Structure 1
Amino acid sequence: MADKTVSKHLTNLERQFAANDPILQKTAKIFQELDEIEFELGLIDNDETTARKTSWWPIVSTLGGYSPAKSEFINRYLGVQLNTSRHKFTVLQYTPQATTATLPGTALDADHRLPFYQISRILEQTAPGEGGKINAYLELVTANSAKLKNKLVIDAPVLNPNQESPASALLRKYVIGVSDLVLVFTDLFEADAELIKDTLSTIVAHQDSNKFLFVIDHSEINIDPAKSQEIAASWQRRLAGLGIHTGQFAVLSQSGDTIAFDQRFNNLNNARSYRILDSLENSILAIDQVIMPEVEDALNTWKERSNASTLIVLSFIIMLLLFAEIAVGILDLVFDPIIGPIMVLALVAVMTPLHMIVSRVHAKFVIKQLLKRQDQLNLTENLVGLFEKSLGFWRTLLPITDPVGRNKKNRKRLIGLIEQSKDLVQALNDQFSHVQQVDYRGPYDAYPYPEAEE
């Protein structure tokens, strides 16, 4: 088998992190080793990479209710006046150009460097017919704001009972999952309880990730620090009643104090690193815990159906022999020391290719089911590739249901990758236990989209 070439995406990432972030540079190398294993198993093509499962940009997202607090804060904090679509999920990205530009949702869906990559496929699976309407849900807006450099902001639309749909709920859940920091404006909790039910459950599910900053908007008045603490404590008790027990609180007042936001924004690079390392570990574990079991189930189904069909054909042949025995006494020939073995060999010669043909036919039906299962699990790996690699001649004839590559050698390789990823997490932890400053830059300073060079 030919060796896998390194994905251009990984090559660019390694180059970007070589000088200023050795942890993410090493992470990219582990992704490369994982790619080699998945390529050997037929799970990805030569030009693909598992590193595309998550965006390598630091990501901030915003959630809010009916009031203009969220949009006003974004404009004020970024220092720009943005006129984004209030009903779309808007990705904000830095540009050195003075004027803003708005790009369609397809720009996000097609670019693996950005969040929402191939989200149309997930939308179609959840809400048939909506995958082709990606421009109705997403947009990319570029803005000349220094605070957007080397990060992305995803501004979620306000909750609207007339526009909320399964697709919107899925996108909001997705955004919370991929974000390193989520600014939750508390007017969200003033909306109808049924309307925020899905969003609330997603926040509760992710609350231990330390990604939430709850923003209490009182920007129309001036509030002293003591009063701010009192307001935050009140909201903390209220959210605890909703099942939210963790998260940081910030009170916006006329003073315009943004220290809490600046601190969280400055820590985005570390949060991003932990998220990518978590994605790496999950991708490694998924091979043994998800991919192999799914393909093994498919092989079992295929084997059972193929063997049953072959037995039916063999039973038919035996019935013909019984009728022949009644008619001409053919069984005497079966026990003949010369003719008998020849007849057995002839039967094997007929049944072997017949079994192969039957198995191939059943494999086509199982592949269709496996593709549906792959979509349901939202896997980027090609389960069919591994399944087809496991349909060799001897595997078809012998009672083997383990997928190709499910062996001690590959399991040892995967364990080694897990250990390497955990070592990188420890190295990242060590950065906080030593007094040192690390000069982080975003992954696309020299690999921008769209033009983002200074």
Structure 2
Amino acid sequence: MADKTVSKHLINIEKQFASTDPVLQKAVKVFQDLDEMEFEMGLIENDETTARKSSWWPLISLVGGYSPAKSDFLNRFLEANLHTTRHKFTVLQYTPQATSATLPGTALDADHRLPFYQISQTIEQSIPGEGAKVNSYLELVTVNSGKLKNKLVIDTAVLNPSAENAANTLLRQHVIAISDLVLVFTDLFEADSDLNKDSVASIVKYQDTNKFLFVIDHSEIGLDENKTQEIITSWQRRLAEFGIFTGQYVVLSQNSSDSQIEQRVNNLNNDRSYRVLGALENSIRAIDDVIMPEVESALTTWKERCNASTLIILSFIIMLILFAEIAVGVLDLFFDPIIGPLFIVTLIAFLTPIHIVVSRVHAKFIINHLHKRQKQLNLSEDLAGLFEKSLSFWRILLPMTQPVGKTKKNRKKLNLLLEQAKDLIQALNDQFSRSQYQEYHPPYDAQTGEEY
């Protein structure tokens, strides 16, 4: 088998982080090793990579109700005058050009570097007929704002009773799941309960990730510190009624600054790094925890159906022999030292191609089932590809239900990749402790030249 070529996506990522983030640069090599293993098993194509599962851009999203608080804050924060479509999900990206440009949703759907890559397929799977309308739900806007350099902002569609639908709900849940920082404007909780219930459920689901910053808008009035704390306490009690018990709070007022939000934004690169490494670890674990069990179960079902079909054909042949025995008496021939073995060989030669043909027919039904399971499990790996790799001649004939690649050798490789992913997370942790230590100490002893 030909070796897998390194994805252009991975090559570009490695160049991007070569000088800025050595941990993510090393993560590229682990992704590459995982890609080679998945390619050998038929799970991905030669030009694909598992690194595309997660956006490598730091992601900020804004979620709110129908009030102008969200859009007003965004214009003030980016120091821009945006006129985005309020019923669409707008991805804001930096441009050095003075003039902004608005691109259709297909630009997001087709670009693997952006957070809505192939989202039309997800929409179509959940809401048939809506996947082709991606331009009705998404847009990409370029903005000349330094705040957007090396990051993306997703301005979610407002909760509008006349425009809210299942696709909007799906997209909002997707945005909350993939974001590193979610600014939740509290007018979301003042919307009709039928409108905000799915968004609230997503916040509850991910509340322990520390990605939520609840923004309370009182920008029209001035507030002192005591009053600000009273407002935060009140909202903490109110959100507890929704099942939300974690997250930071910030109150926007005439005399407040956005320093707390700025602090979270400045830490986005770290949040992004942990998210990417977490996605890497999940991808490695998914091979053993999800992919192999799914395909092995499919192989077991396929094998049972094939054997049952062949047994039915064999039973029909035996019935013909019994009828022949009743009619003319042929059983004595089967005990003949020459005719008996010859008959068995002929029977095997007859049944073998029939069994192979039957197996191929049943395989088509199993492949269709695996395509559906892949969509249900939201996997980028091709389950049917691994299944087809496991349909070699001898695997069809022998009682083998283990997928190709489920070996001790690959088990060791997966364990090694998992350890490497954990080491990278530890290295990321060490970066913080080292940087804090270096605030008070030099990186080496000036007299001996040795590193601390």
TM superposition score category, shorter chain reference = over 0.9
Secondary structure in 1 matching 2:429 = helix
| TM-score when normalising by structure 1 | 0.95
Aligned equivalents of 2:22, 2:229: Cα separation in 1? 39
Which gives a bigger RCO, structure 1 or 2 (Cα 8 Å, sep 6+)? 1
Partner of 1:251: 251
Q: Residue type of the partner of 2:193?
A: A
Tell me how large the CA RMSD over aligned residues is.
Answer: 1.2
Aligned equivalents of 1:377, 1:204: Cα separation in 2? 21
Partner of 2:35: 35
Q: Is 1:388 the equivalent of 2:377? A: no
Partner of 2:53: 53
Partner of 1:441: none
Partner of 1:97: 97
Partner of 1:266: 266
Partner of 1:165: 165
Instruction: Give the CA deviation at 1:327.
Output: 2.1
The change in CA–CA distance for 1:186 and 1:14 in structure 2 (over 3 A counts) is same
Partner of 1:126: 126
Q: Is 1:215 the equivalent of 2:196? A: no
Instruction: Give the CA deviation at 1:325.
Output: 1.4
Secondary structure in 1 matching 2:433 = coil
Q: Residue type of the partner of 2:108?
A: L
Instruction: Give the CA deviation at 1:66.
Output: 1.4
5+ residue gaps in structure 2? 439-452
5+ residue gaps in structure 1? 439-454
Aligned equivalents of 2:212, 2:330: Cα separation in 1? 81
Aligned equivalents of 1:53, 1:125: Cα separation in 2? 18
Aligned equivalents of 2:283, 2:417: Cα separation in 1? 10
Instruction: Give the CA deviation at 1:256.
Output: 4.7
Q: Is 1:355 the equivalent of 2:355? A: yes
Secondary structure in 1 matching 2:28 = helix
Q: Is 1:230 the equivalent of 2:213? A: no
Aligned equivalents of 1:378, 1:437: Cα separation in 2? 42
Aligned equivalents of 2:266, 2:382: Cα separation in 1? 38
Instruction: Give the CA deviation at 1:300.
Output: 1.2
Instruction: Give the CA deviation at 1:436.
Output: 5.6
| Cα deviation 1:212-236 (Å, max 9, x = unaligned) | 0000111111112232222112211
Secondary structure in 2 matching 1:432 = helix
225-234 vs 301-310, which moves further: 225-234
Aligned equivalents of 2:328, 2:435: Cα separation in 1? 96
169-178 vs 321-330, which moves further: 321-330
Partner of 2:191: 191
Q: Residue type of the partner of 2:228?
A: S
Instruction: Give the CA deviation at 1:437.
Output: 10
Secondary structure in 2 matching 1:214 = strand
Partner of 2:25: 25
Q: Residue type of the partner of 1:373?
A: R
| Cα deviation 1:56-107 (Å, max 9, x = unaligned) | 0000000111110000000011000011000000000000111110000000
Secondary structure in 2 matching 1:103 = strand
| Cα deviation 1:332-370 (Å, max 9, x = unaligned) | 111000111111100011011110011111111111111
Aligned equivalents of 1:157, 1:338: Cα separation in 2? 81
Secondary structure in 2 matching 1:364 = helix
| Cα deviation 1:114-168 (Å, max 9, x = unaligned) | 0010111110111111111100100000000010111000000110122111111
Aligned equivalents of 1:92, 1:374: Cα separation in 2? 31
Partner of 1:403: 403
Partner of 2:277: 277
Matches within 5 A, 1:404-423: 404-423=404-423
254-263 vs 24-33, which moves further: 254-263
Partner of 1:424: 424
Q: Residue type of the partner of 1:311?
A: L
Partner of 2:311: 311
Secondary structure in 2 matching 1:60 = strand
